[in-house]
Every structure is written in structure tokens, then in C-alpha cells.
């Protein structure tokens, strides 16, 4: 609130410009890679002169980091949360539903992240790595608890989480390939429901949580 007092039209302009730039940059980085995306191409896509981009972000490296950070925050928010009270069935359902929705709603975030990881995650700080590891361990502990409690089959929780990651993200990252296979031009809203249904069905049964 106190901050908003200070924000006049200018801060608004700043925020608007930055957002426009970040969006354009994300597209270019995905399409061309870090080196392949030129400041000029980002500028063109954002409809701004090149020097303006460099005015808001000191340099290309800086801009890339900003895009990546935005992406990771989005991933973090969209992943949903599961708690011990859920039990394995609800937990898996929630988890899959959240990740599929993410994949179809913000495919660019997933693609950006995927490219970074494939290239060996050169820009992901140690912090991000440790955070992910902690996250997975924490959730794995929940599943292990349910396994020990006889609420689900004896399945390796970490492998299960990786399976859910991979099968859901794939629809974002490999969009081009899936559309090719299906001989379609783009996804339809119904696809979210269909994919969620399919994956939930197979994986729940795979975990012995459905006959």
C-alpha cells in the first residue's frame, strides 16, 4: 500500500514494458535458444527499439535470468500441494491434475525449463537444485508413509514422482510432436480433461489404487 503511493503512471509504464519484454524474450529464448535469440529479435517481437530492452535489463544474460526466474516461480505456484490427510489416491489425483493443467496453460514455462535442464541446467543456481531435491524428498516421504501404512502398493515414491513429472510435462514440451502424431493444429480445451483422466486412470491402477 505504502509502496503503491509512490507508484504513479511511470511505475506502471515500467511494469508494462518489462512484462512485454519478458514475454517476448521467453518466446525467443524457446524458439532460438539463449545465444540464438538476439536482443533485436526480442525487441521486434515486443514492438520496442533494441536500446529500450537494454534500458530495462542491463544485458541479455540479465534478461535471461529474469525470464528463468519468472518461469520457476510459475512452476512452483502451479504444482499444487499435497498433504498427509489426502491419502494416496487423492494426492495422486491432485498432483496429476495440477501438473497437466500447468502444462496446457503455460507450455512456454515448461519448455523454457526443459531446455535449461537438457543443456545441463547451466543457469540454475545451486539454490534451485537444492530446493527441488527437498521438495521431492518431502513428497516422497508422504508416499512412503502411505506405503508403510498399507494404503498403497510398495512402490518407489521418487520414481513415482518422476513418472508424474515426465508424463505430464511431456504434453507441454513435446507439444509439436504430439500434435504431429494426432495430426492436429493445436490443443483443444477438452484435451486437458482427457489427458488428466487417462494418466490418473493408468497411474492409480498402476499403484493398486483402482481395480
List residues binding a second copy (CB under 8 A): 30-36, 111, 114-115, 117-121, 129, 132-133, 136, 155-156, 158-160, 162-163, 165-167, 169-170, 173-174, 176-178, 180-183, 195, 198-199, 201-203, 205-208
Please check whether residue 152 is in contact with residue 91, taking contact to mean a CB–CB distance below 8 angstroms.
Answer: no
Binding partner of residue 199 among a second copy, DNA, none, CB cut-off 5 to 8 Å per kind:
a second copy
Partner that binds at residue 8, options a second copy, DNA, none, CB closer than 5 to 8 Å by kind: DNA
200 binds, among a second copy, DNA, none (CB under 5 to 8 A by kind): none
Distances (CA, A) of 158 to 100, 148, 172: 19, 15, 22
**C-alpha cell, 42:** 526480442
Nearer to DNA, 12 or 166 (CB): 12
Q: Restricting to residues 1-60, name those near DNA by CB under 7 A.
A: 6, 8-11, 13-14, 17, 37-40, 48-52, 54-56, 58-60
Binders of DNA in range 55-84 (CB under 7 A): 55-56, 58-61
User: What residue 13 binds from a second copy, DNA, none (CB within 5 to 8 A, per partner kind)?
Assistant: DNA
Number of C-alpha atoms within 13 angstroms, CB side, residue 120? 1
For 166, other C-beta atoms within 10 Å of its C-beta total 10
Task: Report the site for DNA in 139-178 (rule: CB under 7 A).
Answer: none
* Shorter beta-carbon distance to a second copy: residue 5 or 35: 35
203 contact, one of DNA, a second copy, none, CB 5-8 Å limit per kind:
a second copy
Task: Look at phi and psi of residue 49 and say left if phi exceeds 0, alpha if psi is from -120 to 50, else beta.
Answer: beta
| Cell numbers placing 101 | 493443467
Least separation in angstroms between CB 205 and DNA: 49
What does 85 bind: a second copy, DNA, none (CB cut-off 5 to 8 Å by kind)? none
Q: Report how far Cα 81 is from the mean position of its chain's Cα atoms.
A: 15
The answer to whether the beta carbons of residues 48 and 10 sit under 8 Å apart is no
Contacts of 11 (CB under 8 A, 6+ apart): none
Nearest Cα to Cα of residue 172 among 198, 145, 139, 195: 195
Cell of 175: 507439444
For a second copy, give the closer residue by CB, 49 or 208: 208
d(C-alpha 179, C-alpha 196), whole Å: 17
User: Where on the chain is the footprint of DNA (CB under 7 A)?
Assistant: 6, 8-11, 13-14, 17, 37-40, 48-52, 54-56, 58-61
Amino acid at each position: 500500500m505504502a509502496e503503491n503511493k509512490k507508484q504513479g503512471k511511470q511505475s506502471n509504464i515500467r511494469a508494462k514494458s518489462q512484462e512485454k519484454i519478458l514475454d517476448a524474450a521467453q518466446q525467443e529464448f524457446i524458439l532460438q535458444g539463449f545465444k540464438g535469440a538476439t536482443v533485436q529479435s526480442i525487441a521486434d517481437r515486443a514492438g520496442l527499439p533494441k536500446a529500450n530492452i537494454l534500458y530495462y535489463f542491463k544485458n541479455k544474460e540479465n534478461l535471461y535470468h529474469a525470464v528463468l526466474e519468472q518461469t520457476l516461480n510459475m512452476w512452483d505456484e502451479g504444482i499444487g500441494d499435497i498433504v498427509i490427510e489426502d491419502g494416496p489416491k487423492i494426492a495422486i489425483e491432485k498432483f496429476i491434475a495440477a501438473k497437466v493443467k500447468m502444462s496446457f496453460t503455460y507450455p512456454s514455462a515448461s519448455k523454457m525449463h526443459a531446455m535449461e535442464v537438457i543443456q545441463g541446467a547451466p543457469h540454475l543456481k545451486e539454490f534451485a537444485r537444492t530446493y527441488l531435491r527437498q521438495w521431492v524428498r518431502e513428497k516422497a516421504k508422504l508416499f512412503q508413509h502411505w506405503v508403510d501404512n498399507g494404503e498403497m502398493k510398495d512402490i518407489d515414491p521418487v520414481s513415482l514422482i518422476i513418472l508424474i513429472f515426465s508424463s505430464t510435462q511431456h504434453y507441454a514440451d513435446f507439444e509439436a510432436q504430439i500434435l504431429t502424431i494426432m495430426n492436429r493444429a493445436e490443443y483443444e480445451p477438452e484435451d486437458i480433461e482427457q489427458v488428466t483422466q487417462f494418466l490418473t486412470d493408468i497411474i492409480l491402477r498402476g499403484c493398486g489404487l483402482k481395480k
